[in-house]
Amino acid sequence: MKKLLIIDFPFAGPFGNDLANKLDVLAQKIKDEPGFIWKVWTEDPEAKRSGGVYLFESEESCLVYLHKHLERLSTIVEKEEVKYYLRDLNDDLNKISFIS
Amino acid sequence: MKKLLIIDFPFAGPFGNDLANKLDVLAQKIKDEPGFIWKVWTEDPEAKRSGGVYLFESEESCLVYLHKHLERLSTIVEKEEVKYYLRDLNDDLNKISFIS
């Protein structure tokens, strides 16, 4: 069963294009993670937050990635500051409201 | 500028197909909301949570919808139990990792 990972954390920047220039290689690498389907990169430059919404093929692949992501973040964010949760998708309702 | 709304709240159910049968009309109605682009319906039947990730054309249309959604939820969930936040998308990074 597919799994959605929603994550958000304090982030001093950069944002927008500046972040994209810095992380384009990472963004490409993430696509090769086992079970990765897509990621929406989210940010709030005013509130100084960054994060993402990820879709994985399975809970297992999602949790493997989450572990890697938390490790990578641990150098710049306190563990308890990283907010995340996993959710199932409601496939029937998403057929109505989500791009297929 | 497009805006992402991430929302999550306690929910006793139903979930899955049962929820879809109950809310298919609402799901169709939501698509007609001004500025609505898409919604991913999220749920966790074990943790008894429900929610969504929405994309709107603008912050304004997102906030109008959010207000409606919170009103609708107020009959079944305590206001302070509804967790939500708005975020910008990083368009350059999403060109790499999100379905276009």
- Identify the CA nearest to A9 among candidates A60, A90, A54, A70: A70
Nearest to A53 among B27, B39, B53 (CB): B53
Chain A residues within an 8 Å CB radius of B39: 94, 97-98
- Identify the CA nearest to A84 among candidates B97, B78, B44, B3: B44
ipTM: 0.95
**In B, what residues contact A, Cβ < 8 A?**
4, 6, 8, 15-17, 19-20, 23-24, 27-28, 30-31, 38-45, 49, 51, 53, 85-90, 92-94, 96-99
If you average pLDDT over residues B79-95, what whole number do you get? 97
In chain A, where are the structural domains located?
Answer: 3-97
Q: Over the stretch A12-60, which tens digit does the pLDDT of each residue have?
A: 999 999 999 999 999 999 999 999 999 999 999 999 999 999 999 999 9
> At A71, phi and psi to the nearest 5?
-60, -50
Q: What's the gap in Å between the CA of B55 and the closest CA on chain A?
A: 10
If you average pLDDT over residues B59-71, what whole number do you get? 98
As a whole number of angstroms, the distance between CA A48 and CA A71 comes to: 20
Q: What's the gap in Å between the CA of A64 and the closest CA on chain B?
A: 18
Chain B residues within an 8 Å CB radius of A43: 87-90
Strand partners, A2: none
Chain B residues within an 8 Å CB radius of A19: 90, 93
As a whole number of angstroms, the distance between CA B69 and CA B74 comes to: 9
- pLDDT score of B52 more than 80: yes
As a whole number of angstroms, the distance between CA A22 and CA A49 comes to: 17
Amino acid letter at B95? K
The answer to whether the CB of B63 falls within 8 A of the CB of B31 is: no
Query: For position A54, what pLDDT does the model report?
Result: 98
Please give the C-alpha separations between residue B70 and each of A86, B28, B48, B66, in angstroms, as whole numbers. 22, 18, 18, 6
Chain A residues within an 8 Å CB radius of B33: none
Overall CATH class of domain B3-97: alpha beta
As a whole number of angstroms, the distance between CA B90 and CA B94 comes to: 6
As a whole number of angstroms, the distance between CA A15 and CA B2 comes to: 15
CA A75 to chain centre: 17
A47 SS3 class: coil
If you average pLDDT over residues B7-15, what whole number do you get? 97
As a whole number of angstroms, the distance between CA A93 and CA A59 comes to: 20
Nearest chain B alpha carbon to A5:
B42
pTM assigned to the model: 0.96
- pLDDT score of B100 more than 70: no
- Which pair of structure tokens corresponds to residue B63? 């906030």
Interchain contact, B45 vs A88, CB within 8 Å: yes
Strand partners, B36: B56
- Identify the CA nearest to B19 among candidates A92, A4, A100: A92
